[in-house]
Amino acid sequence: MTEPAPPDALIRFENLKKSFGPKRIYDGLNLSVQKGETLTVIGGSGTGKSVLLKCLIGLLSPDRGKVWFEGQDLAAFTDAQFQPVRKKVAMVFQGAALFDSLTVGENIAYPLYEHFPEMPVDELREKVAQKLALVNLPGIEAMRPSDLSGGMRKRVGLARAIAVDPEVILWDEPTTGLDPISTRIIDELILSMKRTLGCTSVVVTHDMESAFAVSDRIAMLANKRIVQVGTVDEMRQSKLPDVRAFFDARAGATRRA
Ligand SMILES: Nc1ncnc2c1ncn2[C@@H]1O[C@H](COP(=O)(O)OP(=O)(O)O)[C@@H](O)[C@H]1O
Ligand SMILES: [Mg+2]
């Protein structure tokens, strides 16, 4: 299924093909993300959701096809060419790996040192404080990651990811393993990044409640391609067997939990 590319798409995966050894992950995947929208990618475990995000920040590259971002094809970019992209596109990783030897404040300042070595110390401090306030953890600069709960660590990971004021945030399973309250806080953060900063978000999740809460559109990855993209309502009403099966399995999991 080929999606006609809207002219104003900020991100566009075009006819992506990717294999790991004999294992084919994508066979002609197409997906567009509009500027300012929150698009959630759903799909079974191991279908290539994380790989898709990694292609956007240069951790992996497709074998064939294009990864358009702001009119440039990232698929053939070198590591050096990716540097400016990484200032604009931030990834919130599954495990929010903070540096345990650094304080919370130093963790958040880290990407700022890296990308803006010239930034004056007071501006740096100000940015760190601002980001901690955004994730509802003001004033915890001096704490150590080991002193934080799992939910707090995730939020510090987010504060670090957004330290450089990215235009795009990639969220890889941001609520996995979190309690319901922390999960709702993360959902609220995804919504507020869009509302207050105008960020474009691509979210990977298998938490359907989160997907319904945060998404402008949802894309279903199955059979090595995107089989359907639509609004929350359109996806809920989907007749596509792949989508139905995924939703029904998830509903069952939620009821059993
Ligand atoms: N760097 C890699 N080397 C080899 N295989 C990989 C690599 N990254 C991912 N894979 C494989 O690609 C498939 C898709 O991975 P991934 O995108 O992480 O799945 P998910 O949809 O669960 O996020 C999986 O089978 C995974 O084992
Ligand atoms: Mg994954």
Q: CATH no. for residue 222?
A: 3.40.50.300
Nearest residue (by CA) to ligand 1, atom 13, is 46
Average pLDDT, the chain: 90
pLDDT value at residue 89: 94
Per cent of the chain over pLDDT 90 is: 70
Task: Measure Cα distances from 189 to 102, 120, 206 in Å.
Answer: 24, 28, 18
C-alpha 241 to ligand 2 mean position (Å): 22
- Among the ranges given (49-58, 130-139, 207-216, 242-251), the one the predictor scored with the smallest mean pLDDT: 242-251
What atom of ligand 1 comes closest to residue 173's alpha carbon? 23
- Please check the confidence at residue 244 and state whether its pLDDT lies above 60: yes
Query: With bands split at pLDDT 50, 70 and 90, how would you rate the model's confidence at 242?
Result: very high
Q: Quick check: is 100 in a domain?
A: yes
Pocket flag, ligand 1, residue 219 (CB < 6 Å): no
Q: Quick check: is 26 in a domain?
A: yes
Contact of 33 with 92, CB cutoff 8 Å = no
Nearest residue (by CA) to ligand 1, atom 2, is 20
pLDDT value at residue 252: 63
pLDDT value at residue 28: 97
Q: Quick check: is 1 in a domain?
A: no
The residue-averaged pLDDT of 128-139 equals 93
Pocket flag, ligand 1, residue 24 (CB < 6 Å): no
Per cent of the chain over pLDDT 70 is: 93
Ligand nearest to the CA of 172: 2
The residue-averaged pLDDT of 165-194 equals 89
Q: Quick check: is 4 in a domain?
A: no
Q: What six digits make up the tokens of 71? A: 């009119």
C-alpha 222 to ligand 2 mean position (Å): 14
Query: With bands split at pLDDT 50, 70 and 90, how would you rate the model's confidence at 187?
Result: very high
Q: How many residues are present in the chain?
A: 257
Q: Quick check: is 157 in a domain?
A: yes
Q: Quick check: is 70 in a domain?
A: yes
pLDDT value at residue 105: 97
Q: Quick check: is 159 in a domain?
A: yes
Pocket flag, ligand 1, residue 20 (CB < 6 Å): yes
- Please check the confidence at residue 92 and state whether its pLDDT lies above 90: no
pLDDT value at residue 251: 72
Q: Which of 17, 27, 51 to mutate to test the pocket of ligand 1 (most atoms within 8 A of CB)?
A: 51
Identify the bridge partners of residue 16 per DSSP, sorted by sequence position.
29
Nearest residue (by CA) to ligand 1, atom 19, is 46
Q: How many domains does the chain have?
A: 1
CA distance 183 to 153: 13
CA distance 154 to 152: 5
Pocket flag, ligand 1, residue 205 (CB < 6 Å): no
Query: With bands split at pLDDT 50, 70 and 90, how would you rate the model's confidence at 35?
Result: very high
Pocket flag, ligand 1, residue 153 (CB < 6 Å): no
Pocket flag, ligand 1, residue 29 (CB < 6 Å): no
Query: With bands split at pLDDT 50, 70 and 90, how would you rate the model's confidence at 95?
Result: low
pLDDT value at residue 77: 93
Identify the bridge partners of residue 66 per DSSP, sorted by sequence position.
14
Q: Quick check: is 78 in a domain?
A: yes
Question: Given strand 64-69, what is the order of strands in its sheet?
Answer: 23-34, 9-20, 64-69, 72-73
Q: Which of 25, 91, 225 to mutate to test the pocket of ligand 1 (most atoms within 8 A of CB)?
A: 25
Query: With bands split at pLDDT 50, 70 and 90, how would you rate the model's confidence at 232?
Result: very high
Residue 152, domain extent: 9-256
Nearest residue (by CA) to ligand 1, atom 9, is 51
Say which residues have a Cβ less than 8 Å from residue 108's Cβ, sequence separation at least 6.
128, 131, 132, 141, 156, 159, 160, 163
